[in-house]
Chains A and B, each alone.
Chain A
Amino acid sequence: MLSFQESLGKFTVTCEVGPLKGCDVSEIIEIAEVLKGKVHAANVTDQQSSVLRLGSMVTCHILKSNGLEPVLQVTGRDRNRIAIQSDLLSAAALGINNVLALTGDYQTHGDHPEAKGVFDLDSVNFLATLSTLNSGKDLAGKELTGVPNFCGGAVVNPGAAKEAAYQLQLIKMEKKAAVGAKFFQTQAVYDLKAFEQFMNDTAHIGVPILAGVIPLKSAGMARYMNKNVPGVSVPDIYIERMAQAEDKRREGMKITAELIRGLKDLCQGVHVMAIGTEKDVPEILADSGVL
């Protein structure tokens, strides 16, 4: 299996691992066991949705020790530029070099809504910081001992419905690429036609794009996402299939595999976000023909 960085530009397959709330890591070790050799890398989310969990870096370290290459997700919500740089150097010292730079969900949406948000660096500043560290210096221009080799990536929401939201995404993508983003992972894609349009609109950027897919668990989940997750629109046909299906889990996996088959010729990879059902990923990938 290629390493994550070697796979970029060919067809990269990544998935997502969400740390649990607490310090029991047995589940993470099991997930690593199931996924290793099946995906190029697994993203580890960073206090996703502003809900407190086990840290992303230590989870990455455990995945790596168990044979699964990690992508460290880091948000700017909980860290200022000193903490961000220090965490990045710590990651490099552990041999964790793939980093997904995120602004972060707002803290009031999580389970500690009273927390103080930081947002010292936005995601573009953050990517620029990765490039600065790669040049052997910190943001203050001071020399580092040892030069890291980060492969920084970013997210993009290709389904933004309104003109302004969509154009703002494209412009920000260009900015992210200009300061050194090496890959993009997208919000969940269900509408291949709209996604094809997005790929055409961003062809000039020339950075590999990994399309996000989320296995549906029920028709209700699809309707919920349509209503509440900006940029996600699950077509009625899938909602109908989920509603009819007896084995919802299987149907959701089947739809995901179909989507991946369709995405294979459109972009440079897929990012399977199966939070809570990580162990289904190998079967989905096998069914879609990318494994």
Chain B
Amino acid sequence: MKNMPGDSAEDILTLRNVCKYYKDRKGSGHLLKAVDGVSFSVRRGETFGLVGESGCGKSTLSRVILQLEPVSGGSVAFEGRDFARIGRRELRAMRKEMQIVFQDPYDSIDPRMTLEQAVEEPMAIHRYDRSLRKTRIKKLFEDVGLPVNMLNRYPHQLSGGQRQRLCIARSLALSPKLLVCDEAVSALDVSIQAQILNLMCDLKEEHNLTYIFISHNLGVIKFISDRIAVMYFGKIVELASRNEIFTHYLHPYTCALLSAAPVLHPSMRRERMLLTGDVPNLYNPPAGCVFCDRCVYADSRCRSEAPVLRGYGEDRQAACHYAGELPLKVNWGGAPC
């Protein structure tokens, strides 16, 4: 099977069966399976898109990837080094290699820091030379398109787009190899979204970055990603290259997700595959496929046996018993972006 997670040199990040369970806040003893058995690897230099409805565990997965929270099971390896097996000091050093840009630019910078301090902070933590810091701050400001005369301003004096530029500058300060963008443009106006997305494309070339781009917005994901993983309630249900996933999707959930996206022009109106049934209960997931309650094709096998992610030819994986056999159809009208 190709493309199953492996330690090939082109993989920068490998997730194996990663799980993150939370205890029920009310103390009922149930486990909330926010991320449940996710495996994939991200190749050096690509933009890996992760798409899914709100609450399906995308942010949890990003926090686990960045070691902001420990995994409940499985392993995350960066450049072949398993995070569970490295010491504190090494982890601190490895934090330089991957950074995150959060959704809310209003919340991800300490309001008491000037812009200069915010960008300088990561370099101060890692004891960069002072004069080097100053020159780097200027360079980073130019790279992300912020005027250098704003150095002494405070974050609240910036617009949302400028703030997100600042967050990007901050996350690039340590020259990371991998940048995780968790809904990085979702809080911005549509016109600003486009600017930031373009900026990120440029920065990717310039800084030799690999992106994991997380969004609930298909248009954004389609614009920026090379490969796309579709997540549904803690699991990856389909993973394929961008071109494949928008034309030859194999999983009924992907189809439903594509038909749920708004279309710009009435002539592009299409048959929608509507989502029926209830959202599965995270505390008490169905025994079989997580999607079976909402899937029109579900049969008894789907209800009893959970499908695993299997490869279907070059660069395609899906977790459906009947992948490739279903008459899925949707006229994807293009990105609403």
Physical interaction between A and B: no
Instruction: State the A residues within 8 Å of B (CB).
Output: none
Binding site for A on B (CB under 8 A): none
